[in-house]
Structure formats: C-alpha cells, structure tokens
C-alpha cells in the first residue's frame, strides 16, 4: 500500500508541452517519468511499477514458450565486436578505459550470446535452443528519428534462437509467435496489434514479420486487407488506378517548350497537365558502369527495396543513382531523359506497371526547348515491365478484386531478424549431426520486444483526456482510495489490507497539506489511470460503507466488511 502523503512524487499542475506527443506530456505531468537528458529518462516509482508488470508478462510468456532467461553483460570488450566487424558502427558507443583498452556498452547482444552458446551447442540434439534477457541497451543516436521511437537508453527483451536449418526454425517459430501474440493480448493491445509481413530476411526471398500496433502518431504504414492479411508498406504492391486509359491513343508529336522549363514542376504548371500524365525517369549505374533507368508515372515514387531486389536478380551487382557527370557520358542531362524508341540512350529501360494506366503521356524530347506529347507504350524503349512503385491508398489490392488498399499508421513493437550464420561463424559455432559429422552452419534468429517503447505505445493507446487509462493488469495500482477527513485513514488502511490479501495494489490518497482538495485527488487518480476509485467520506460512512467507482461503470456504495 502506498500512502501518497509519504510518496515521492509530484504531479504537475499543467501538462508540459513537448513536441513529441501527448502521452509523453501526460507521463511527465503524472511524474511517471522525468527526462535525464535528450532521449534518456528516469523511471519514477509509479512508472517503474508499470514497467515491472509489463516485464513480468513478457517473461511469463517467454518462459512458457520454453525460452531460457539469463542476464548478459552490458560492458563488452572491443575484440568481440571486431570479430563481427561491428566495432566501427558510429551508433554504437565506445567506452575508453585505462590505457588503450576500449569497451562497448552493448546496443544488442549477438556478440555476447554467440560465444556463450558456442560452449553449450555440441550435438544436433542441443538444437533448437533459445535464450533471452531483458536489459537496458544503448545507442549513440544522433537525433531521435521520430519522437519517441528511439532512445539512447532503452529496455529490450532480446531473444536469440539457434537452429540447424530453416526447417528446424520454422517448427520452432510456429510455437514462438504464439507467445508473442499472447504478450500483446495480455497487454490489451491484441485488437490493434497485427503480425505483418515486412522486408525479407536479408538474402532470403521470404518475407520477414513484425508486430505492429495501430497508432495514429507513428510513422510505419501497414496495409491491411479485408481478409486480415497485413504487410508493411515497404513491401506492398497494388494495382495502380486507371487514369485516362479509355482515351484514344494519339500520334506522338514534338512541340515547342521553353529552355527555362527545366524542372517537372515548372513543366506541369506551364502546360497545365496532370502530374500523372507526365513521366519520371531515374537513371542508375551499377558497379560495373552499366546504366539503366526506371520510368514511372510522375505522381508515384520508386520503392528502393523492390528496385534493389529486382536489380540484384537481374545483374547481381550493386548500383546507385547516376550523377550529372555520369549522365554526360550518356549524352544527356537529368531533365532531358526520355527513353523513347528513337532516343538511342545506351541503357536498359525498365518501366513500372503503372504507366499502363495512362494514355498520351506528355514528356521531354531529349532536345532542349522541345517537349513531346502523346507518348504511348508503342513509342517507348521498353526492356521490361515490373512493379517498382510505392502504392497509394487509392490503388486496389492485387489479391482481392476491386478492394482498395487500407493504410494504417502503426508502431513496430516486435521484430525478428534472420541472422543466418553472420554471428555464429565468427564465434565458431558448430555441432555434430546424426552421423557424427561436424556441421559448421548454425543458423541464428533474433527477436526483439522494445519493452520501454511498448510502455509508451500502451500509454499512447490508452490515454484519455484526463490521463492514462492503463489496462487493469499493468496499472500502477488496482485501487485508489480517497479519504475525506483525516480520521478515516484507519478505515482506508483496514480496507487496503483486505484488498492486499487478494493481491491487489492500493494507493491511499491521504494528502492533506498543500490544499489538496477532493477534486485534485480525483484528477490525480485519473492522471495515474488507476482503474478503481474508492471514496471514504463522512457521507459514505453514514451509510456504513464506501463508494466504489470502477472505470467505465457507475459508482456504488459497498458496505464495510
């Protein structure tokens, strides 16, 4: 039982204005958190209670799934990070010690877990195995990406599993994700947390997964279809909206332009064309100086991920966007590239499927002061069509006919990475297979729940105008007892003890100085988000009881036991 008169906290009269988001302002006002420095927070007593409850739910589900908890070190020696070629990553802190020694405060723990498990894993029977820990991590963030998504110091539940092969993993994974679904269900986020397909596992063609909680303030976009299938916009495809597709194809024609029109913005406004009726060409070069272009409707953007997968398959090479110098070699400059059949540009031109939705494009002429109108597919130098675009919300689904894509803003709360043998190799992991033959390929996966981010997500998700309406099982307390008239403290304590026998946490608001009136106490109880309020006042005592107000319910008088 917490007696507020002796509890070190101080709710603020006004909500501090911070740019990040409203829930953080509420957390600061309620004295749940306090900023130590940019993107580093103190977890004050009430907040710490919430954290512990969340951690315990995560821990319980991990243990039930057969993961084993441990606690890895935060300080790690430089040598471990040199082995995996991660010492020089600028977002990872380096800590100078005596002499020339340098350590790292770990941002992630592959470099800890791999050598540990290397000692354990000896036989194929030891696989699969999975360990985890819940611990603070550190990142030398230059600037927070978007408000509260990233911290310099944060708490993470990171699990690492080890497998013989993908098949072994898949069997394990089917069970593992159940645990994660349970976690979000128990945190009352289940309804709006989805497992979405996301970018693939590095060199794999398969999609990865992530758990995303729908929240309007976050920046990830999840596409959800009516059958419940979800995927991150980064891998989404859609069917582009048909524009003037029913128009008649006209004859291609050069028209006068003016030399000053060197940007597309100027061109659209000068000729009063719709942006979708313009083309966009981006020229790239590969590391062996092969040039290629990607052309699409001007109102759409290229999805770099789709592009890189396509090109890797096509050429097996890395590539980057061509610069002005490169373009000179092609006898062109950026604003005059129009891969028409007669343009004689020495490069492969790939066209986004979206251009099939427009007739009579309007574009450059590869000649200064000229433009081209009535461009149609037949006029173009087309090497291949492909899906290169980032779909728009008005595109339709490729899976469900006529269904428009549904975009939802979301926050990633869980992710998984296929680490292949990236960390197991340098640390020499191996095992003896059924035939007693040494196998040196141990596949690793890692799974993360940002516990501290999760708290913010929950706060944001459950906030009301008056505070955070915490889910019952993680609220800082179950009951908030307000006493009117000091003499009733004994009754409050007696009642608390009864509630505590039932494993309930109780806060007694017995503050009497600083002019804490009844309504201030009610306000604080809502700011803290305690689900049940109890009022013991002369009026309720006259009725031999107390008033119980459960969240979202009407208040009632309960007789004292």
Residue 106 and residue 95: Cα distance in Å, rounded?
10
Half-sphere exposure of 527 (CA within 13 A, CB side): 23
Q: How far is residue 282's CA from residue 299's CA, in Å, rounded to a whole number?
A: 14
Question: 71: which residues sit within 8 A by CB, 6+ positions away?
Answer: 133, 135
In angstroms, rounded to a whole number, what is the distance separating the alpha carbons of residues 532 and 559? 16
Are the C-beta atoms of 372 and 313 separated by less than 8 Å? no
Residue showing tokens 């310099």: 152
Which of 73, 288 has the CB closer to a copy of itself? 73
519 binds a copy of itself (CB under 8 A): no
In sequence order, the 6+-apart residues with CB closer than 8 A to the CB of 12 are 28, 29, 31
Range in contact with a copy of itself (rule: CB under 8 A) among 98-106, 367-375, 470-478, 495-503 = 98-106
By CB under 8 A, name the one of 72, 195, 262, 305 that touches a copy of itself: 72
Pick the binder of a copy of itself from 116, 177, 264, 439 (CB under 8 A): 116
Q: CB-wise, 138 or 284, nearer to a copy of itself? A: 138
Rounded to a whole number of angstroms, the minimum distance from the CB of residue 219 to a copy of itself is: 22
CA distance 45 to 483: 22
**Residue 125 engages a copy of itself in binding (rule: CB under 8 A):** yes
Record the tokens describing residue 283, joined without a space: 């020229």
Out of 65, 105, 444, 481, name the contact with a copy of itself by CB under 8 A: 105
- For residue 368, give the DSSP letter: T
Check binding of 129 to a copy of itself (CB under 8 A).
Answer: yes
CB of 452 closer than 8 Å to CB of 33: no
- Cβ 420 vs Cβ 442: under 8 Å: no
| Least distance CB 399 / a copy of itself (angstroms) | 39
Residue with tokens 């269904």, as numbered in its chain: 403
Q: How far from the centroid of its chain's Cα atoms is residue 131's Cα?
A: 23
Would you give the binding string for a copy of itself spanning residues 242-261, x where CB under 8 A is met?
--------------------
The region of 69-77, 336-344, 439-447, 465-473 touching a copy of itself under the rule CB under 8 A is 69-77
- Shortest distance, position 541 Cβ to a copy of itself, whole Å: 26
Residue 7 touching a copy of itself (CB under 8 A): yes
Among 50, 51, 300, 468, indicate the residue that binds a copy of itself (CB under 8 A): 51
At closest approach, how far in Å is the CB of 521 from a copy of itself? 17
Which residue, 170, 69, 163, 109, is CA-closest to 429?
163
Q: Is 43 in the site for a copy of itself (CB under 8 A)?
A: yes
Piece of 117-125, 163-171, 186-194, 249-257 that binds a copy of itself (CB under 8 A): 117-125
Distance between CA atoms of residues 133 and 183, nearest Å: 16
Find the shortest distance in angstroms from Cβ 139 to a copy of itself. Answer: 10
Q: Spell out, one character per residue from 153 to 172, where the chain touches a copy of itself: x when CB under 8 A holds, - when not.
A: x-------------------
- SS3 for 391? coil
Measured from the CB atom, the residue of 405 and 454 that comes closer to a copy of itself is 454
Give yes or no for residue 93 binding a copy of itself (CB under 8 A): yes
Q: Which helix (H) or strand (E) holds 490?
A: helix 489-501
DSSP 253: E
- Establish if 152 lies at the interface with a copy of itself (CB under 8 A): yes
Q: Taking a C-beta distance cutoff of 8 angstroms, is the pair 83, 111 a contact?
A: yes
Residue 103 makes contact with a copy of itself by CB under 8 A: yes
Question: Does residue 188 interact with a copy of itself by CB under 8 A?
Answer: no
Q: Which residue of 19, 88, 100, 142 would you call a contact of a copy of itself, by CB under 8 A? A: 142
**Quick one: which segment of 40-48, 235-243, 295-303, 489-497 binds a copy of itself (CB under 8 A)?**
40-48
Q: Which is nearer to a copy of itself, 152 or 453 (CB)?
A: 152
Q: Does 138 bind a copy of itself (CB under 8 A)?
A: yes
Residue 198's Cβ-count burial label (10 Å; 0-12, 13-18, 19+) is buried
145 binds a copy of itself (CB under 8 A): no
Smallest separation (angstroms) from a copy of itself to the CB of 61:
16
**Looking at residue 209, what DSSP letter applies?**
E
**499 binds a copy of itself per the rule CB under 8 A:** no
Is residue 36 within the footprint of a copy of itself (CB under 8 A)?
yes
> From CA 442, how far away is CA 423, in angstroms rounded?
9
- The packing angle between helices 22-29 and 451-462, to 10°, is 100
Least distance to a copy of itself, CB of residue 455, Å = 12
Length of the chain: 561
In angstroms, the Cα distances linking 388 to 265, 307, 391, 442 are: 22, 6, 9, 35
68 binds a copy of itself (CB under 8 A): yes
Sheet arrangement for strand 102-105: 75-77, 102-105, 94-96
* Nearest approach, Cβ of residue 125 and a copy of itself (Å): 6
Select the span of 123-131, 182-190, 254-262, 460-468 touching a copy of itself (CB under 8 A).
123-131
In terms of CB distance, is 123 or 288 closer to a copy of itself? Answer: 123
Return the closest-CA partner of residue 54 out of 506, 526, 454, 459. Answer: 454
Nearest to 11 by CA among 32, 42, 35, 40: 32
Query: Exactly one of 5, 274, 376, 396 binds a copy of itself (CB under 8 A); which one?
Result: 5
User: Which of 15, 20, 29, 74 touches a copy of itself by CB under 8 A?
Assistant: 74
**Applying CB under 8 A, does 438 fall inside the site for a copy of itself?**
no
Output the CA torsion sign for 130, 134, 138, 142. Answer: positive
Number of residues that bind a copy of itself (CB under 8 A): 58
89 and 104 Cβ atoms separated by less than 8 Å = no
Interface residue with a copy of itself among 15, 29, 60, 76 (CB under 8 A) is 76
Residues that bind a copy of itself (CB under 8 A): 2, 5-10, 34, 36-37, 40-45, 47-48, 51, 66, 68-77, 93-98, 103, 105, 112, 116-117, 119-120, 122-123, 125-126, 129, 131, 133, 136, 138, 140, 142, 152-153, 513-514
């Amino acid at each position: 039982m917490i007696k507020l008169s002796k509890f070190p906290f101080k709710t603020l009269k006004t909500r501090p204005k911070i740019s990040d988001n409203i829930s953080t302002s509420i957390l600061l006002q309620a004295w749940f958190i306090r900023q130590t420095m940019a993107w580093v927070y103190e977890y004050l007593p009430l907040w710490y209670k919430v954290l512990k409850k969340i951690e315990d739910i995560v821990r319980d589900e991990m243990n039930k799934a057969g993961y084993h908890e441990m606690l890895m070190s935060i300080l790690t020696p430089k040598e471990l990070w040199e082995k995996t070629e991660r010492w020089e990553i600028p977002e990872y802190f380096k800590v100078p010690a005596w002499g020339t020694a340098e350590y790292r405060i770990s941002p992630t723990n592959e470099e800890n877990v791999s050598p540990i498990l290397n000692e354990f894993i000896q036989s194929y029977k030891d696989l699969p195995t999975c360990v985890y820990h819940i611990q603070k991590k550190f990142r030398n963030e230059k600037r927070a990406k978007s408000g509260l998504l990233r911290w310099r110091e944060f708490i993470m539940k990171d699990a690492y599993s080890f497998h013989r092969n993908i098949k072994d993993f898949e069997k394990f994974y089917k069970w593992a994700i159940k645990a994660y679904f349970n976690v979000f269900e128990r945190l009352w986020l289940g309804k709006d947390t989805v497992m979405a397909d996301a970018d693939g596992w590095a060199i794999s063609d398969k999609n990865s997964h992530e758990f995303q909680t729908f929240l309007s303030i976050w920046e990830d976009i999840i596409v959800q279809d009516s059958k419940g299938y979800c995927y991150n916009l980064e891998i989404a495809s859609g069917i582009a909206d048909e524009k003037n597709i029913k128009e008649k194809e006209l004859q291609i024609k050069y028209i006068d332009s003016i030399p000053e029109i060197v940007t597309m913005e100027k061109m659209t406004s000068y000729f009063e064309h719709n942006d979708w009726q313009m083309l966009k060409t981006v020229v790239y070069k590969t590391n062996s100086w092969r040039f290629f272009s990607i052309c699409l409707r001007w109102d759409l953007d290229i999805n770099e991920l789709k592009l890189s997968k396509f090109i890797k398959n096509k050429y097996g090479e890395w590539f980057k966007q061509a610069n002005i110098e490169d373009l000179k070699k092609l006898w062109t400059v950026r604003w005059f590239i129009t891969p028409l059949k007669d343009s004689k540009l020495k490069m492969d031109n790939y066209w986004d499927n979206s251009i099939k939705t427009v007739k009579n494009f309007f574009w450059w002429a590869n000649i200064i002061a000229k433009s081209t109108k009535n461009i149609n597919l037949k006029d173009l130098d087309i090497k291949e069509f492909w899906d290169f675009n980032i779909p728009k919300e008005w595109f339709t689904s490729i899976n469900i006919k006529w269904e428009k894509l549904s975009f939802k803003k979301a926050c990633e709360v869980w992710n998984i990475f296929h680490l292949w043998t990236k960390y197991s190799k340098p640390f020499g992991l191996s095992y003896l297979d059924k035939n007693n033959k040494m196998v040196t390929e141990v596949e690793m996966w890692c799974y993360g729940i940002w516990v501290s981010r999760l708290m913010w997500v929950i706060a944001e998700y459950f906030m009301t105008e008056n505070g955070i309406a915490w889910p019952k099982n993680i609220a800082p307390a179950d009951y908030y007892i307000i006493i009117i008239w000091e003499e009733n403290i004994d009754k409050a304590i007696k009642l608390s003890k009864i509630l505590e026998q039932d494993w309930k946490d109780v806060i007694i608001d017995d503050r009497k100085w600083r002019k804490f009136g009844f309504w201030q106490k009610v306000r604080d109880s809502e700011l803290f988000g305690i689900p049940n309020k109890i009022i013991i006042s002369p009026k309720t005592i006259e009725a031999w009881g107390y008033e119980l107000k459960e969240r979202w319910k009407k208040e009632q008088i309960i007789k004292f036991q």
